[in-house]
Structure 1
């Protein structure tokens, strides 16, 4: 991971407390995101995009919008499940809706060997847009560089 950007689009609903990368070793970086949801959120949708850098960031492989509350109950979206399986041990967002209060990701490290989809070498960004009651409330962008090992 090379950079992390988080922004609350509605500070009366979601407050971003922390959004940073921490270097643990020379080639290992962990992600920490802390946020506080000020009002109960029951109708949550998430748009997940994977963009690859090629004269600007272009859509690559993934662009899904899902009902996050339904996904947590049933885990019925195979592509989103791949991403969730990478973060589920590091996040507090692993219970059913409603969400309120402190939420986040702590010390997330994604081992490249655990990525089940072969990615070509390049620079990528994972963009998440969180919508509560059909209005964008929060977005996060996590930039990373992936190098294929043969």
Structure 2
């Protein structure tokens, strides 16, 4: 009789660990806004969220660059969490993108931010940029791994916002709204 109860208890413990492993937070893209401030310099050919089914969504965008080559790019990355409006959360960092791409190991925070999209983008070389910038099919499962396993985030609504500057002038912003539940 004792062996039976021991086996049942072991089974319960294994079942609890299995169920705990199955419960995980999920990212869902809720909105995306791309704004070009100087349409003579650059403009968005497309910027959208595509929903394939309930669980598979991705984002894509393409920026047409009209005054190439671009040799001076500054970018501001910020995370914001929704609590009575969107408030700064965790990171708000501005960096010289050209210098960072020459030496990516120079800043661990930028490595994390860049890692959110680099695999799905053609922004994979140093300046100058003499071609359009593309982010293609960045899907929720990849972002989910970054937000829950690499650097765990609490549940809630978030805004990942980027401001893109060339030659010290704000040229564009990209805002991606996500829900983590």
2:145 is paired with a residue of what secondary structure? helix
**Aligned 8 A contact 1:36 1:100 in 2:** no
SS in 2 for 1:46: strand
CA contact (8 A) 1:123 1:145 kept: yes
Alignment of 1:80-95 (within 5 A): 80-95=110-125
Whole-angstrom CA distance in 2 between matches of 1:113 and 1:138: 27
Task: Tell whether 2:74 aligns with 1:42.
Answer: no
Structure 1: where are the runs of 5+ without partners? none
For the pair 1:114 / 2:146, whether they are aligned, the reply is: yes
Task: Report which of the two structures shows the higher radius of gyration computed on alpha carbons.
Answer: 2
2:125 is the alignment partner of 1:125: no
**Which one is further off, 104-113 or 61-70?**
104-113
CA distance in 1: counterparts of 2:42 and 2:112, whole angstroms = 26
Which protein has the bigger helix share? Answer: 2
How many positions carry a matched residue from both structures?
A: 147
Q: Which residue of 2 aligns with 1:97?
A: 127
Render the CA deviation track for 1:13-55: whole Å, top value 9, x for unaligned: 0111000000122122100011111112111000001000000
More strand by share: 1
- The two structures, once aligned, show a CA RMSD in angstroms of 1.1
Taking structure 1 as the reference length, the TM-score comes to 0.94
Where does structure 1 differ by over 6 angstroms across 4 or more consecutive aligned residues? none
**49, 52, 59: which one pairs with 2:88?**
59
- For normalisation by structure 2, the TM-score amounts to 0.78
* Contact kept? 2:77, 2:113, Cα under 8 Å: no
Structure 2 spans left out of the alignment, 5+ residues: 1-28
More divergent stretch after superposition (112-121 vs 53-62): 112-121
Say which SS state the counterpart of residue 66 (structure 2) adopts.
strand
